[in-house]
Each structure stands twice: as structure tokens, then as C-alpha cells.
Amino acid sequence: MANGVLVLGATSTIARALSARWARDGVPLHLVGRDTPELERIAQDLRIRYGSDVSVLGCDIAAGDFPQATVTAMGQHAPLRGIVWAFGTMVAAAGAADAQSLRAGAWVNFGAAPPLIEALLPLVDRQGFIAFLSSVAGDRGRQSNYVYGAAKAALSVYGLGLRHRLRGAGPSVTVLKLGVVDTRMSWGMGVPGGAADPEAVAAEVQRAIGAGKAVAYVPRRWALVMAVIRHLPEPLFNLLRI
């Protein structure tokens, strides 16, 4: 299985939609995450629907041997066509969260990324890609989710720094700033304008990666929304219940 895509956090709904697109294109996939029975179901689905090559790898980002176990296991699949970072978890507003979930939020959304990605880097084809599913929440701290937002901001900056370092000499890095997508993460949130369909989001994400973009807002209207929110003077911003 040469030149596969490594999907980190492959049980994510957006990741699943992305995997389906690559599978349809005949790209081998390596699905990584902590819930191996679930990964196995997703892998079976991709095999049956698209006849694709899919392998599953359990990876516990909270374990003591992280990230070495994962990196060692992935060695046999090099060179990789690309890596997608899809791990993420919503964190309650800081006032409502305990220390444990604040720590986990920072780790799952950002902390675990640098050690894992840096170690996997040598396995990625020089013409390949690394993509981070980040969030518009990182564009400006907001009362409702600034812990999550802070971690996503860190993830975005990490991605862009990596892109800067690898330019011309390594895989292309793309940071995806996703708006609200209709998955378990946003289920139950009221969203003006509605949450985007994961399959439509996956299509745009794949396009942005293919085009070698540095940053892409998906769906695109979020670029405009966030430009406004970023530039809103504080007195006005303070009036918003977001």
C-alpha cells in the first residue's frame, strides 16, 4: 500500500467524508484513532463501497508511548501521500469546565499535534500534503468557546509555521478553518444559517488541499463572517452573545 493518506482522528464525521472521497479516487487509507472497533466499521464501509485499500491503527494520544508507537507502526506505509489531522473536541466555556477537561481540550485540539506530526514528517512524500482541520473559532476569542478557540488558533499557527519551514522542500501544508459543520460536535447548537453538510465540506477541503492553499475557510462564506468578527471594535463585539 504505497502512497496512502493517513487520517488522524478518522472516526470524525468530516474525516469519514474525506476518507470516502479519497477511497473513491482509489487512494489507500490508514485510519488512526482511539476507537478501533469504530475505525474497523468505517474501514469495512470504505472497502465495500469503493473496493479500497484501508488499514486501521489504534492510537491513544493520552498513552505513555505516544507518539512513538504510532510512528513505528506507520513506518511500513511510507512514503505517505499525505496526513490529515482531524482530532478535536469541543470544550465547555471555561467557567463551566473542570481542570481535567481544560487540559484534555488543549491536548486533543492542539497539544498532541506537534509531537505526532513532527515525528511522522519523514514518512510523508515530498510532493505530499499535511492538512489540519482547524476552526474559525481560532480567529477571535469568544466567551462561548475560547479554550477550544485558543487551541485551534495554536493549531493554525503551528500549521502555517510548518508550511513556512517546508516551503519548496517538503509536503505542502494547508490549514482549514472550518465553520460550523453538521456533526456530533455541533449537534444541539443553534446556528444562524445552519450547519454545513459534512460531505460538501469534505469536497471543499479536498479541493483546497489539492490547490496547495495555505489557509481555506470552509464553507467559504465564513471568510467574510470572520473578517467582520475579527475587525469588530470591542464595544460592538461586547454586545454579541457569541
Partner 1 sequence: MGKQIEVAGWGHQMRVAADVERPETVRALESSCHGQGIARGLGRSYGDAAIAPERVWMMTRLNRMLSFRNGVLTAEAGTSLGDILRVFLPRGYTLPVTPGTQWVTLGGAVAADVHGKNHHTAGTFSRYVEEITLCTADGEMRRIGPGRDPDLFWATVGGMGLTGLILEVSLRLQAIETGYISVDYFRTRDLEETLNWFSVHDASYPFTVAWLDCLASGRSLGRAVLMGGRPTERAELSGRQPAFPMPHRTLRMPFSLPSGMLSRSVGVAFNAAYYGVHRPGAQQIEPWWKFFYPLDVVDDWHRLYGRRGFAQYQAVFPAEVGAQELAALLGRIQNARHPNFLGVLKRMGPSSPGMLSFPRAGLTLALDLPMQGEGTSRLFRELYAQTADLGGRAYLAKDSFLTPDLLQRMYPRLSEFRAVKKRVDPAGRWRSALALRLGLAGGS
Q: Which is nearer to partner 1, 118 or 197 (CB)?
A: 197
Q: Which is nearer to partner 1, 62 or 227 (CB)?
A: 62
Q: Decide: is 11 part of the binding site for ligand NAP (CB under 6 A).
A: yes
Q: Decide: is 14 part of the binding site for ligand NAP (CB under 6 A).
A: yes
Euclidean distance between CA atoms 122 and 171, whole angstroms: 10
The two most distant CA atoms of the chain are separated, in Å, by 56
Location of C-alpha cell 463572517: 225
Q: Which residue type sits at 201?
A: V
Least CB distance to ligand NAP at residue 230 (A): 16
Residue 234 interacting partner from partner 1, ligand NAP, none (CB closer than 5 to 8 Å by kind) = none
| Residue pair 61/116 in contact by the 8 Å Cβ criterion | yes
Positive/negative CA dihedral, 131, 121, 152, 94 = positive
Q: Which of residues 89-148 bind ligand NAP (CB under 6 A)?
A: 89, 104, 108, 133, 135
Q: Decide: is 156 part of the binding site for ligand NAP (CB under 6 A).
A: no
Q: Decide: is 55 part of the binding site for partner 1 (CB under 8 A).
A: no
Q: Which of residues 24-83 bind ligand NAP (CB under 6 A)?
A: 33-35, 61
Least CB distance to ligand NAP at residue 233 (A): 25
Of 18, 86, 175, 226, the one binding ligand NAP by CB under 6 A: 86
Residue 83 interacting partner from ligand NAP, partner 1, none (CB closer than 5 to 8 Å by kind) = none
Q: Decide: is 52 part of the binding site for partner 1 (CB under 8 A).
A: no
Q: Which residue type sits at 196?
A: A
Which residue has the CB atom at the shortest distance from ligand NAP?
A: 88
Positive/negative CA dihedral, 194, 198, 203, 205 = positive
| Residue pair 100/178 in contact by the 8 Å Cβ criterion | no
Q: 98 in helix, strand or coil? A: coil
Write down the number of H helices and E strands in the chain. 9, 7
Location of C-alpha cell 445552519: 194
Binding residues for ligand NAP, rule: CB under 6 A, are 9, 11-15, 33-35, 61, 86-89, 104, 108, 133, 135, 178, 180-181, 183-186
